[in-house]
């Protein structure tokens, strides 16, 4: 049924059913208690008059006259009405007697001595308050109806307090915005808050994993373009002029470079600890410049002002990627094909003149200048490598100069 399709409706039905069941149970107990109390009062009343009649009989030899008109005393069975005696004879002990005309009797056996028995008989039809007054049951039924209405109202309120946090949590999760702009799951009290925080952490971890996977795919596409171009050029040369030993050496170096690049990018994407060692910064810069300038189409004049003894603790492959991307960025965008790289204490500055002002968010993935032939990934990769090393960076740009500073 549709009404049972949500946890809110289910909790409401359960709470109302529980209240209705408890109310019906206590109603039944109340009615049963009424009958029991009625019987106990009558029994005690008759027991008291039975004891009085037995005492008077022992003293006077006669049964006393009682002021209560509904109680009759008989010193022998023969003194009783025949129908009444027949009903008593077929009963056992102190019993109640119901006649066909709906007259209700209670009787007690009198011990008159020497195995002589008498009887106290009370016609209690008018004293049966519970049985003779159905209006009492109407009061109980009215109480049941009132309790049911109150139960439904309270159940709705309790259901809101109990279920609404779960519904809110479900709606936020269904919206598919966890980890995005409208982000975080709501906070609650007690165990629900722990559940919400656990979900939040799981969604954040998933979002970060998806972001790392996306970055890895883009990084690989960005970094492997140049090695793949070199491989294609060598295969074209081999087809034209034949095979040389230097071709094999160059192709092995390119393959090794690609393998190392994929390995470090994969480690960066998985947020794994990357092996670090002491790296001479000037040697790394010089090697990167030589590799990038092998291609005659890459024209760049680089001015290096770096301490020959300055060393960094870093992963060599990631440091090479960082430097290569910054130098390649200058090769493509420097107006006069000149790049200045200078060290200032524990900082390194890459500076070049530019033809056009880059976008303000140039370090964001996919953002690039209008005339750029790249995919807008280089500077974004640079910033992530810097952050993985625990360094800081600063970007300064105007209409004439582009400056990228790294603080170790």
List, for residues 348-382, the tens digit of each pLDDT value: 999 988 877 777 767 665 555 655 545 455 687 78
CATH architecture of the domain with residue range 2-147: 2-Layer Sandwich (3.30)
| 230-247 average pLDDT score | 80
* Nearest-angstrom CA–CA distance, 391 and 61: 119
* Nearest-angstrom CA–CA distance, 96 and 98: 7
- Residue 1 has a pLDDT of 40
| 180-190 average pLDDT score | 65
What size, in residues, is the chain? 408
Phi-psi region of 239 (alpha: psi -120 to 50; beta: other; left: phi over 0): alpha
| 45-66 average pLDDT score | 84
Domain 275-407 -> CATH class: alpha beta
Count other C-beta atoms under 10 Å from residue 187's C-beta.
Answer: 11
Quickly state the pLDDT bin for 282 (edges 50, 70, 90). very high
- Residue 191 has a pLDDT of 75
Collapsing DSSP states into helix, strand and coil, what is residue 210? helix
Spell 307-344 as b/e; 16+ CB within 10 A means b: eeeeebebbbbbbbbbbbbbbbbbbbbbeeeebbbebe
| Per-residue pLDDT tens over the stretch 111-149 | 887 777 888 888 877 777 776 676 777 777 787 788 778
Count other C-beta atoms under 10 Å from residue 202's C-beta.
Answer: 12
* Nearest-angstrom CA–CA distance, 202 and 199: 5
Quickly state the pLDDT bin for 2 (edges 50, 70, 90). very low
Model pTM above 0.85: no
| Per-residue pLDDT tens over the stretch 82-120 | 777 777 776 655 567 777 777 777 888 888 877 778 888
Residue (of 405, 399, 404) closest to 335 by Cα position: 399
Collapsing DSSP states into helix, strand and coil, what is residue 402? strand
- Residue 278 has a pLDDT of 92
- Residue 178 has a pLDDT of 54
The mean of the pLDDT values for the chain is 77
Cβ-contact 312, 408 below 8 angstroms: yes
Q: Is residue 316 pLDDT above 80, yes or no?
A: yes
Q: Is residue 309 pLDDT above 50, yes or no?
A: yes
CB-based contacts of 96-104 (< 8 A; 24+ apart in sequence)? 104/128, 104/131
């Amino acid at each position: 049924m549709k009404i049972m399709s949500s946890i809110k409706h289910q909790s409401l039905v359960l709470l109302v059913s529980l209240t209705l069941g408890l109310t019906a149970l206590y109603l039944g107990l109340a009615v049963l208690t009424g009958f029991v109390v009625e019987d106990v009062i009558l029994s005690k009343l008759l027991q008291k008059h039975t004891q009085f009649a037995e005492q008077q009989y022992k003293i006077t030899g006669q049964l006393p006259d009682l002021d209560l008109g509904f109680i009759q005393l008989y010193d022998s069975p023969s003194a009783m009405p025949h129908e009444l005696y027949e009903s008593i004879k077929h009963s056992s002990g102190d019993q109640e007697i119901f006649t066909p005309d709906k007259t209700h009797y209670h009787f007690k056996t009198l011990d008159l001595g020497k195995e002589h028995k008498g009887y106290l008989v009370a016609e209690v039809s008018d004293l049966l308050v519970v049985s003779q007054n159905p209006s009492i049951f109407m009061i109980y039924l009215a109480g049941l109806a009132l309790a049911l209405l109150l139960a439904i109202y309270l159940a709705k309120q309790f259901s809101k307090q109990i279920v609404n946090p779960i519904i809110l949590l479900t709606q936020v999760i269904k919206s598919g915005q966890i980890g995005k702009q409208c982000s975080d799951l709501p906070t609650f009290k007690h165990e629900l808050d722990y559940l919400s925080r656990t979900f939040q952490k799981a969604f954040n971890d998933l979002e970060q994993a998806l972001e790392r996977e996306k970055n890895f795919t883009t990084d690989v596409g960005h970094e492997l373009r140049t090695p793949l171009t070199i491989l294609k050029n060598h295969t074209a040369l081999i087809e034209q002029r034949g095979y040389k030993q230097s071709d094999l050496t160059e192709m092995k170096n390119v393959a090794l470079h690609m393998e190392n690049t994929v390995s470090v990018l994969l480690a960066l994407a998985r947020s794994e600890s990357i092996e670090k060692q002491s790296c001479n910064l000037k040697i790394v810069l010089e090697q990167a410049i030589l590799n990038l300038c092998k291609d005659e189409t890459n024209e760049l004049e680089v001015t290096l002002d770096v301490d020959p003894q300055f060393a960094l603790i870093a992963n060599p492959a990631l440091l090479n990627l960082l430097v290569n991307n910054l130098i390649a960025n200058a090769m493509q965008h420097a107006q006069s094909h000149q790049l200045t790289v200078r060290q200032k204490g524990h900082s390194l500055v890459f500076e070049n003149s530019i033809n056009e002002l880059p976008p303000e968010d140039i370090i964001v993935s996919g953002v690039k200048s209008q005339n750029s032939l790249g995919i807008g990934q280089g500077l974004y990769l640079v910033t992530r490598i810097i952050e993985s090393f625990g360094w800081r960076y600063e970007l300064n740009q105007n209409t004439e100069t582009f400056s990228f500073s790294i603080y170790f």
